[in-house]
Amino acid sequence: MREKLVAVIGAGVCDAVVATAAERVGASLAEANFGIVCGGLGGVMEAACRGAKGAGGWTVGILPGARASDANGWVDIAIPTGLGEARNAIVVRAAAGVIAVGGEYGTLAEIAFALKFRLPVVGLDTWQLQRRGADDAGILRATDPVMAVKLLLDAISKIDELPQSN
Amino acid sequence: MREKLVAVIGAGVCDAVVATAAERVGASLAEANFGIVCGGLGGVMEAACRGAKGAGGWTVGILPGARASDANGWVDIAIPTGLGEARNAIVVRAAAGVIAVGGEYGTLAEIAFALKFRLPVVGLDTWQLQRRGADDAGILRATDPVMAVKLLLDAISKIDELPQSN
Amino acid sequence: MREKLVAVIGAGVCDAVVATAAERVGASLAEANFGIVCGGLGGVMEAACRGAKGAGGWTVGILPGARASDANGWVDIAIPTGLGEARNAIVVRAAAGVIAVGGEYGTLAEIAFALKFRLPVVGLDTWQLQRRGADDAGILRATDPVMAVKLLLDAISKIDELPQSN
Amino acid sequence: MREKLVAVIGAGVCDAVVATAAERVGASLAEANFGIVCGGLGGVMEAACRGAKGAGGWTVGILPGARASDANGWVDIAIPTGLGEARNAIVVRAAAGVIAVGGEYGTLAEIAFALKFRLPVVGLDTWQLQRRGADDAGILRATDPVMAVKLLLDAISKIDELPQSN
């Protein structure tokens, strides 16, 4: 059975508030029967995986380096790409949608790819984007982890209802 | 728990004899509690996934294109990379070892990467490599699917016993 | 002699005002003896290459597809990667610095990678980035093409003066 | 003007006999007005670049790492990809044809990709490939550097004469 994945993206180092949010996101996605795909390292990635595993879910880590042992301890399936930062494109391609929790420049690249690929993107305390002085409407904004997951799953289900899904 | 993966590689189109061998390889790996990673398409890849699923196993497809829907029907976790043939490097990096069943030039590239990365490689009716008139010793040769899996798992277990595994 | 490259990034389709700016950027970089590296396609990429060639410069196109013939007519050296959007990471890695002219989500990914790689980035009517309500200071802002090139070359020369350049 | 590139591939460490052959290949290609594309590192890559530069040619290095400074001293245009070994696919995609001089497993991966992409491949003391006991006819065999370049340029010119070149 083809499994459904959501990407949880964010920085490899983060404070406890952000980690708690990411862990809640991971747990909520697992409860909704989605797998987690992420960059496989620490910070937000690790917290989301830990949350998913605690809720009976499962996790995929698409790593920048060449060693599976780089993955955090809650990654079930480690894919060491050896591609460096170019692996960010793959993290989002593998997902039906993306939740960004906080984040630095790597997260920004993943948000950009996700929007380019027309995937739903939900942001929780993450980057805001403006062009010519106006906010870009691409990122759906959530104010807490449960709302983030709800917004994303609603957006994914709307796409699945289209005559020709991607 | 970190899952262990073996890559099964081979052509995207193959005859029934090769497909039967690949299916047996997939089933034997599943029985040994290994997941299958492959290129996610048809032929040998599809047969190996079908064999694994029939034996209660699970499968990962690292796809060259950008759409999860390109994956064959026995892929559980589809990773559409959008990288084209460069994804061959990732298929083998994700694995603890590689079994090649038949195969064309794409398979040859994967064998080469696996040998470069010092992974055990078992060949079943696949490419033979010579340098300066002498056979390259890199590929372990099997004459049937059960022997192929046994040879590979023996080679993997020897690596795992090393003081510092790769 | 190792050639120095600057990346000019922007959308594959753009209006005449943006194209004129990109062409001026390309010409100014060529006059300063920098080669242009870009994504190799139309819009801002084509305009920058045309500007560079008109000023006696030279150009490299790092293409997403697999065919050199996808490159615009002012690309001297076409590198068809077959990597899809993941090639954006390579466009910026190849450069000593980046000038963004306008731009859509692909440009945003390139800006993000450039900032991640600690390359100087100059923006001309491009994305604005905010985190937690504050502007991100990563992008140097220019108001015209000549200023954009001057800002970037100043930033590059400061990096080159460091004891250990990257 | 779109420049034409030939890939010269081989090991990053090689003996003096192989290096001399690679240098001659590079020089002959430069005399025929082809640029050299290679993996940008030492051994055969460096020798081919040195030969090309000595004959007034020019060179591109598609590097596995993230730093242009990894390139050998005869690379004019360094493209640090950060992709690791996956960059091998790009080295051959960028070329109209490939000459392999000696070579290890990385070279074998490049030969495989080149044959997969239907590029002409000439081998000089390089891998021999067999399937089901028969030699694979994919690699054109040369016995010296001048013959290698002649064979390749003949093969390229035949492709260019096709109604629809690739």
Q: What is the pLDDT of residues A15-37, one digit of tens each?
A: 999 999 999 999 999 999 999 99
Residues of A in contact with D82 (CB under 8 A): 83-86
| Per-residue confidence (pLDDT) for residue B165, from 0 to 100 | 39
pLDDT at A1: 66
Size of interface B-C (CB pairs under 8 A): 18
Q: Closest Cα partner for A40 from A57, A6, A65?
A: A65
Q: At A164, is the pLDDT very low, low, confident or very high (cuts 50, 70, 90)?
A: very low
pLDDT over 90 (residue B159): no
A3/chain B closest Cα distance in angstroms: 6
Q: What is the pLDDT of residues D39-57, one digit of tens each?
A: 999 999 999 999 999 999 9
Q: Per-residue pLDDT for C164 more than 70?
A: no
**What share of chain C in percent tops pLDDT 70?**
96
Closest to C11 in 3D by CA, of C35, C38, C37: C38
Closest CA to C98 of C48, C54, C55: C48
Hey, are the CB atoms on B94 and A83 less than 8 Å from each other?
A: no
b (16+ CB within 10 A) / e for C27-37: bbbbebebbbb
Radius of gyration (C-alpha) of chain B in whole angstroms: 14
Q: Which of residues 49-68 of A touch D (CB under 8 A)?
A: 66
Q: What is the DSSP string of chain B?
A: -PPPEEEEE--SS--HHHHHHHHHHHHHHHHTTPEEEE--SSHHHHHHHHHHHHTT--EEEEESSS-GGGS-TT-SEEEE---GGGHHHHHHHT-S-EEEES--HHHHHHHHHHHHTT--EEEES--EEEETTEE-TTEEEESSHHHHHHHHHHHHHHHHTSSS--
Strands B35-38 and B5-9: parallel
The packing angle between helices C145-161 and C16-31, to 10°, is: 40
Between CA C22 and CA C134 the distance in angstroms is 28
| 3-class secondary structure, D101 | strand
| Residues on chain B touching D115 (C-beta within 8 angstroms) | 105, 108
Q: Which of A86, A115, A127 sits opposite C86 (nearest CB)?
A: A86
Instruction: Give me the helices (H) in chain C, please.
Output: 16-31, 44-54, 87-93, 105-116, 145-161
In this prediction, residue D133 has a pLDDT band, given cuts at 50, 70 and 90, of: confident
pLDDT score recorded for residue B67:
95
Lowest-confidence region among B3-12, C79-88, C132-141, D64-73: C132-141
Contacts A71 to B, Cβ<8 Å: 2
Question: Which residues touch A134 (CB under 8 Å, ≥6 apart)?
Answer: none
Mutant choice from B49, B70, B77, B119 vs A, greatest count of A C-beta within 10 A:
B77
* Burial class of residue C133, CB neighbours in 10 A (0-12, 13-18, 19+): exposed
Give Rg (Cα) of chain A: 14
Banded pLDDT at A62 (limits 50, 70, 90):
very high
Mean pLDDT value of segment C115-129 = 97
Closest to A155 measured CA to CA, from A112, A76, A99, A102: A99
Alpha helices in C32-144 (DSSP H): 44-54, 87-93, 105-116
Taking a C-beta distance cutoff of 8 angstroms, is the pair B92, B107 a contact?
no
Q: What does the angle CA B26 – CA B30 – CA B35 come to, to the nearest 5 degrees?
A: 90
Which uninterrupted H or E stretch holds D96? Answer: none
A83 close contact with C: CB closer than 8 A: yes
Contact B81 A60 (CB under 8 A): no
Interatomic CA distance for residues B114 and B68, integer angstroms: 25
Give the pLDDT confidence of D77-114 residue by residue, as tens digits: 999 999 999 999 999 999 999 999 999 999 999 999 99
- DSSP-based three-state secondary structure for C132: coil
Please list the residues that pair with C9 across neighbouring strands: C100
* Digit-coded pLDDT (tens) for B87-113: 999 999 999 999 999 999 999 999 999
- pLDDT tens track for B71-91: 999 999 999 999 999 999 999
- First vs last C-alpha separation in chain B: 18
Task: Collapse the DSSP code of D166 into the 3-class scheme (helix H, G, I; strand E, B; otherwise coil) and give the result.
Answer: coil
Closest CB to A108 among C89, C112, C125: C112
* pLDDT (0 to 100) of residue C19: 98
Nearest-neighbour CA in chain A from C56: distance (Å):
32
Segment A112-139 mean pLDDT:
94
Q: How far is D151 from chain C (nearest CA, A)?
A: 23
Say which DSSP state D39 is in. Answer: -
D128–chain B Cβ distance below 8 A for any pair: yes
| Structure-token pair, residue C129 | 């980035």
Q: Measure the N-to-C terminal CA separation of chain A; round to a whole number of Å.
A: 18
Kindly identify which residue of chain B lies nearest to residue A76, measuring between CA atoms: B2
Residues near A97 by Cβ (< 8 Å), separated by ≥ 6? Answer: A6, A7, A114, A119, A120, A121, A122, A152, A153, A155, A156
Q: What is the ipTM of this complex?
A: 0.95
What mean pLDDT, rounded, does chain A reach?
A: 95
**At A67, which helix (H) or strand (E)?**
none
CB atoms within 10 A of CB A116: 19
What's the mean pLDDT when you consider all of chain C? 95
pLDDT band (50, 70, 90) for residue A2: confident
Q: Token digits for A7?
A: 């990407």
A146 falls in which pLDDT band (50, 70, 90)?
A: very high
Task: Please give the average per-residue pLDDT across A86-106, as a whole number.
Answer: 97
Among the residue ranges B24-28, B144-148, C105-109, D131-135, the one predicted with the least confidence is D131-135
The confidence score (pLDDT) of residue A137 equals: 83
The pairing of beta strand A59-63 with beta strand A77-80: parallel
Q: Distance (Å, rounded) from C-alpha B138 to C-alpha B141?
A: 10
Strands B134-135 and B35-38 come out as unpaired
The pairing of strands C134-135 and C128-131 is antiparallel
CA distance C106 to C95: 17
**For residue B134, what pLDDT is reported?**
87
The pLDDT of residue D159: 86
Inter-residue contact C29 to C36 (CB < 8 Å): yes
Higher pLDDT, D27 or B160: D27
Q: What residues of chain B lie within 8 A of the CB of A89, using their CB?
A: 81-82
d(CA B98, CA B111): 8
What gap in Å lies between CA A124 and CA C30, rounded to an integer? 43
Q: Which two tokens stand for residue D4?
A: 């034409």
B86 to C85: CB separation less than 8 angstroms, yes or no: no
Preferred mutation among C9, C85, C130 to probe A, highest tally of A CBs within 10 A: C85
Average of per-residue pLDDT across A52-63:
98
The three-state DSSP-derived secondary structure of A35-49 is: EEEECCCCCHHHHHH
For residue D154, what are its two tokens?
């003949």
Q: Which of A5, A93, A116, A159 is the best substitution to test chain B (most B C-beta atoms within 10 A)? A: A93
Mean pLDDT within A140-163: 91
pLDDT at A134: 87
* Nearest-5° Cα angle at D62, D60 to D68: 90
* pLDDT over threshold 70, residue D164: no
**N- to C-terminal Cα separation, chain D:** 18
CB count within 10 Å of CB B136 equals 16
Note the pLDDT of residue B132. Answer: 81
State which H helix or E strand residue C125 sits in.
Answer: none
Please state the rounded mean pLDDT for residues A128-149.
Answer: 93
DSSP A148: H
CA–CA distance, A60 with A38 (Å, rounded to integer) = 6
